[in-house]
Each structure stands twice: as structure tokens, then as C-alpha cells.
Structure 1
């Protein structure tokens, strides 16, 4: 249960209550004096002013609505009305009057926007006819997402308690490199530094799409403010590079590689804060709320669960967490703040594939790597303002170990 009532600390309320109290004191005093002086006609007039002040004082401070279970008791002047929550017909906001106008079964009520609990009250009314604002509706949607939009993923768990080696999976640090090959450089001929290295022999889970051994590396430019990403050519590996080492030469030592990689003074811009060892952990990923396919997916979900057609996106279907206390279960389920491979990509400012043709967007159907600033409390890396990076590839290209056409993008708040 909660109560919608006036905010006693609001300046307008303080002013009005002060005026009403002065009215009561002043005309109350006049009424008493007039009565003792046998001036009954003035006393009657002063009593009217006194009653008006008391009435206004009550009306300004008494609760306007009580909400409990599925009922709402709402007051208009001195009269109270009882309705079921689903009897609300409309909720609108009048800007110039700064008030919410509510209609219950044809009767209109107005509540100022500074009243306590008014936003919670309004949000409750907005979602009262929403099936997905109920426990039953949310549970069915969760099960639908698990069945239709869940896929295998491998989390990359940062391990600060493990010291990384030359060939181990890690963020940053010294990369494994065959010194007989040319080290990757950016478009200006400057050496790039290691962003992430994955040694698949450390992944003990069976998955046919990834190799059972070999090292996959991600390099980015050492002095590019965009960390090597190109807004106009996100798949052009000019200032970033992906390299796959199918075979590992155990005779290569870190001392030899130290001589060919950029020094710490040459690495000007990087999202890496500390080199950190990584450990594979099998998990499940669900389509993110901002995935370019989510609108079609949620429309199918609503149709199958409720039988209704909708053109709303998932945020409109569920409402905010303030409007729908059950919505957080879905948003938490779809939100991803880990580092991982495979699964669905997760973006901060929207899926970049939305601006592509359907053919191009559908090509990048697999997450080759997702790195998130929020993972490990932001101690390992930070993409701009706590952002995340995605490397997207085609599933068939990944099976063929073809890393020439990969989409690299990152965004932040």
C-alpha cells in the first residue's frame, strides 16, 4: 500500500498552508471576539471565513489517493471514490498546469506533479492494462526468451589471482608472436599493441565453431583516440587487426617479443588499464534488448503469448522499471556486462547493424569477441565512458578460420 499526498516541503505548499493557517488564526480570533461582544452578524461572517480556511487546510494536506492490492481510493474535495485499478480509462499530463489528469470510469481527477508518490501512482496506472506488468506475463516472456533467443556463449572471466604467460588467454600484455613474421602495424606504419589474446586450448568445452587449439589475437593502434575503430569502414582492418596462430612455437620466448612490440611510452591511447589473465566459462547468452532483430522478436513473443499484434519495441511493451516492477527481470536477463565470445552482441548506444542493409546486417551474425568496461568493476579496461566493444563475424567464416571480414565497433555512455 502507498499514499499519494501533498509534499509539505514544496514551496507552493508552504505558502498555501501559511496563508490558510493565518486565515484560521485571524478569523478564528475575530469570531471569538465577535461572539463575546454579542456581535452575532459579524461572528457569522468570520465563522464562514474560518470554516473556509479549515476546509482549504484540510484539502491541501489530506491524502488524495490510497493504493493497495488492485484497488485505489481517490478523493475529490471531501468525497472519496473507490475503484479497481483496471477501471482507469486515461492518464494524461497537462504541462502548463503541471498536473496529471486521471479518468476513472468517466470521472476526472487531477493531481499536481509534485505530490509525493504521484509518479509511482501514475506509472502503476499506465501499466495496469499491460499483461507483461504481471508476474504471470513476465514469467511467460522469460520462458519464451529462454526457448527462442538463448544461445551458447563462453564468458571470459578476469583472473587477477593468476599470472598470465606469453601464450595464455589475457587482456593486454605481451602477445605471443612468431618473430619470423611481420609484426602488425597501423595505417601510419606504427606498431599496434595487443588488446586481447585467446588460447583455445585452454577452453575445455566442446564447440564445433571454434578451433580446439591455436591463438586468436586482437590488435589495435597505439595512438588512435578511437582505439583503431573506423566509423565509416568498421570492417577495414587498417588501425586494428585480427591474427590467428594455428600452431604455437614453444621455442619463442617473451624476451624476443619484447624487442619488437611497442614500448609503454609509445602506447598513447588504449582502453586497457591492466593486463589481466582470462578464464573460459561456459554460459548462455540471450538476445540483447538493443539487438536489431529485437523488434521483430518481441512482436512474435507478444503475438504468441497474448494473441495480440503490436508494433511496440520491448521498452514500450514492458515499460520502465519505475512503471513495471517486474520489468527488471527481463532487462537484467537481456543485459550483458561480461567479456565473452559467441552469444549475442550488446551495445550501449544501439546496434550498429540497424543502419545496414538486411544482407549486410545478417552477415555479421556471430560475436567473435565482446569486451565490457563493467566487467571486473572496470579495473581491467575502460572503453571511453564505461563502454563496450564488439567484434562481429559471419559464422561460416569463423568455421573456415577466415578473419578478413570482421565488424569492429565500440560505444559508450
Structure 2
């Protein structure tokens, strides 16, 4: 699995090198990308389920797991937020290979390995809860971590789901309609950065930006840029935890933003469609993730 994300890119560079790209520069770029390659948990939503079922499972949309002791998240008008996804971390990290790989990764080792991590946004808003100016009010989206999944016969989120369904109807609320829900399965992959990613005060990303902007040979730069774009798109697309984001326009984080970790990504795959083939991300700082503090998560989505 090591360097899987670079196989196709190395082949494309080899083809470019045979025509016009200096071999020394090709190896420099490959070595740099190998240093930056990041482990990613790839999430696949394959099995369609009834929206009221699998309350304790990892899934997209539907009725959320929500303990009765906590207050359900609502928007500024008091309407309940919709579940985007919930991740049962006990299920995901029951895979020993995945657990061991993530525990040795620079970023994923900070991710909680038990409990439920849930993502909500505003289904009544045309922008799906997106805000443009910091400090955000965060009434249009919410990330909630439940350290322990407690199974019982009472699920208070069903009432909120029915309340929201009466408001939204059968219309699609961004990713899926109120009548759709999918189980999530997980696997491992590697991702490489796209040209749009911010430097984030990362030494390797700074070198990457410097290389692509200043050191590429002018005659070969267009071909190399296209190869980079194609491979980053290939490996970064899809639902994911960690790794590099699938950026359809630009990185919403500034170069000095400390929210360097991709907490969760929802992408336009299969029946999931965000606008015109868009992608949604939640970013968090390393310190906040260590502290299990999800109050300063950056939420963003964009389409082509």
C-alpha cells in the first residue's frame, strides 16, 4: 500500500521525461511528494438503508444517534439540524490493521478510537449552513463527539428528524434527500496534496509550492501541473477521514491556519451530490483534536 498514490503519477512523469522533462527534476518532485503523502481512511457508502434504522452504525444521513441527556443541535430559527454523517469509531477501529496503522500516523493517531463522531448542518438553508466570516456563529453546522455509544430503546433524534422532514419535505437537502441513508464501510489509502492547498506553515508544503511555482521548467510545467492535478483528484476524491482534501475551488484555510487536519470529508460520489459535483470538508487543529474540542472546527463546501 505504500506510495500507492504515486504509482500513476510516477508513470505519467516518466512519459513526460521521455519527451522534455528533466529526469533530475522528476525525481526531486517524486521525493518531495513521498515525504508529504498522508494516510487516509477512505469511507464508502454502498448499502442503502431505511432512514430510521442502524441508529448506532456509521452512516450518511437518516436518523441520528443522540443520547437523551444532551440537547439536539438547532439552527438560529430553532429548527433541528440534519445529520450529514455519523462515524461509529468503535466499529471503524475494530479493524486491527487500521488501528495499528492509524496509531503510528502523525495525524490519525490523535483521532478518537471509540465513541461516535457526528456531523450536522442546516437542511433549511440554501447554503447548507455555510458561513463566510469568522468568528462563525456555528448555528448552521455542528460537530458533536459522544465518547461512549449507549444503546437503548429510546432515540430522541427521531422526533427531530420527523420535525425536520415536515419542514423540508421530500426535497434534497444538499447531499441526499430526507428519505435516503447509507451505511459506511472503511479502508485505508494514501493521498497527495493538490496544487490548491494552502501552505499551512508546513515545511514540505512550502517546498511543494515553491517547486511548482518557481522551479518547474517552463516548457514542461503545463504537462506536470496537469499530471499533478489528475493524480491528486484521483486519490483525494471520495468520503474520507484524514489525508488531503478534495478541493474543487480553493483551500478555505489561510496559509497560517492551524486547522491542518481533515476531520471528515463528504464528496459527490454515487447518489451523494453536493451542488455541481462538489465536496464538503470539516477541518480541525491538532491541539483541538487531542483535547476532543470540536467547537472550533472549520466547515466548508464548494462545487465546480
TM-score range, shorter chain: 0.7 to 0.9
The 5 A counterparts of 1:249-260 are 249-254=150-155, 256-260=156-160
- Cα deviation for residue 410 of structure 1 reads 0.8
- The aligned residue for residue 38 of structure 2 is 151
- Cα deviation for residue 403 of structure 1 reads 0.3
2:91 to 189, 195, 202: 202
In the alignment, is the contact (CA less than 8 A) between 1:186 and 1:238 conserved in 2? yes
Greater CA deviation, 343-352 or 230-239? 230-239
- Cα deviation for residue 185 of structure 1 reads 0.5
Could you report, residue by residue, the CA deviation over 1:339-396 in whole angstroms, capped at 9, with x for unpaired residues? 1111122311111223x6x2xx1x11111111111x23xx1x2221111111110012
User: Given the two structures, how large is their TM-score scaled by the length of structure 1?
Assistant: 0.57
The 5 A counterparts of 1:6-405 are 133=21, 137-138=25-26, 140-146=28-34, 148-160=35-47, 165-203=54-92, 204=95, 205-206=98-99, 207=103, 208-233=109-134, 235-254=136-155, 256-261=156-161, 262-267=163-168, 270-273=173-176, 274-293=180-199, 296-298=206-208, 301=211, 311=214, 319-320=221-222, 324=223, 328-335=226-233, 336-354=236-254, 358=256, 361=257, 363-373=258-268, 375-376=269-270, 379=271, 381-405=272-296
- Cα deviation for residue 301 of structure 1 reads 4.7
Aligned residues: 263
Report which of the two structures shows the higher radius of gyration computed on alpha carbons: 1
In the alignment, is the contact (CA less than 8 A) between 1:154 and 1:283 conserved in 2? yes
Which SS does the other structure have where 1:260 is aligned? helix
In the alignment, is the contact (CA less than 8 A) between 1:209 and 1:395 conserved in 2? yes
- Cα deviation for residue 138 of structure 1 reads 3.8
Could you report, residue by residue, the CA deviation over 1:180-227 in whole angstroms, capped at 9, with x for unpaired residues? 322110111111110111110112222331222100111111211110
CA distance in 2, matches of 1:264, 1:317: 56
Q: 1:269 to 1:297 in 2, by over 3 A?
A: farther
Could you report, residue by residue, the CA deviation over 1:269-315 in whole angstroms, capped at 9, with x for unpaired residues? 6222232111111121212221112873335557xxxxxxx636x89
5+ unaligned residues in a row in structure 1: which ranges?
A: 1-126, 303-309
- Cα deviation for residue 407 of structure 1 reads 0.5
Q: 1:130 to 1:297 in 2, by over 3 A?
A: farther
User: Given the two structures, how large is their TM-score scaled by the length of structure 2?
Assistant: 0.76
In the alignment, is the contact (CA less than 8 A) between 1:389 and 1:410 conserved in 2? yes
- Cα deviation for residue 266 of structure 1 reads 1.9
5+ unaligned residues in a row in structure 2: which ranges?
A: 1-15, 104-108
Could you report, residue by residue, the CA deviation over 1:63-120 in whole angstroms, capped at 9, with x for unpaired residues? xxxxxxxxxxxxxxxxxxxxxxxxxxxxxxxxxxxxxxxxxxxxxxxxxxxxxxxxxx
RMSD of the alignment, in Å?
Answer: 3.0
In the alignment, is the contact (CA less than 8 A) between 2:17 and 2:23 conserved in 1? no
